[in-house]
Amino acid sequence: MVAGAVIFGAVGFRRRWLGTKLGEFFARCGVIPREEKQKGIEEVNAHTFEFGERHPRELRRILAWNFASHFLSALEVMVILWLLGMGAGFATGIVVEGLTKLVEVGSVLVPGDLGIYQAGTGLIFHIIGFTVSAGVSVGVIRQIRSILWAAVGLVVLLLLPGFAKEGGLFPTRA
């Protein structure tokens, strides 16, 4: 299933379906005005494909980091379930991670994401055969992890005022 999604994404990217078809869908739904749709889609597509053609190595690197982050997120779900005594395989982690991405996209319209992520995770767990409370627990634990890492980032930002001026952790090449 994951391989199919990756192949579909790669083919859709190469044939330029993704931006165009998605823009047409939003225009039909009335999310974006039709006259602005074509101009905006063409601009985004031009920038995206220009970057991919000019910097194929960097694009592959970005995609590799993206896949690594999703892999670690699926591993995180598996470890949380193991620590909760529920035991789950890596496939469960991948399913939960993929479906929670859909919940995150759907919760964009809710200010502050007020409990949508946790409720969505509870629903996902219920659907795949776990208890709702296990899903809500995983959602809360992951939210706490996000808050902690944001706090670490804030502390680093406040303690290292010259950090950004000196090029940061990964300085750009000249």
Averaged confidence pLDDT in the chain = 78
- CA–CA separation, 31 vs 28, rounded Å? 8
pLDDT at 14: 65
pTM: 0.65
Query: Which has the higher per-residue pLDDT, 111 or 51?
Result: 51
Segment 94-116 mean pLDDT: 81
Mean per-residue pLDDT for 148-155? 89
In order, the DSSP letters of 124-167 are HHHHTTS-HHHHHHHHHHHHHHHHHHHHHHHHHHHH-TTTTTTT
Alpha carbons 103 and 137: distance in angstroms, whole number: 16
Per-residue pLDDT band at 15 (split at 50, 70, 90): low
pLDDT of residue 75: 93
* Residue 104's pLDDT band (cuts 50, 70, 90): confident
Give the whole-number percent of the chain exceeding pLDDT 90: 17
Report the amino acid identity of residue 44.
V
Please, how many CA atoms are within 13 Å of residue 21, restricted to the half-sphere of its CB? Answer: 7
- Give the model's confidence band at 163: pLDDT under 50 very low, under 70 low, under 90 confident, else very high: low
State the pLDDT at residue 126.
92
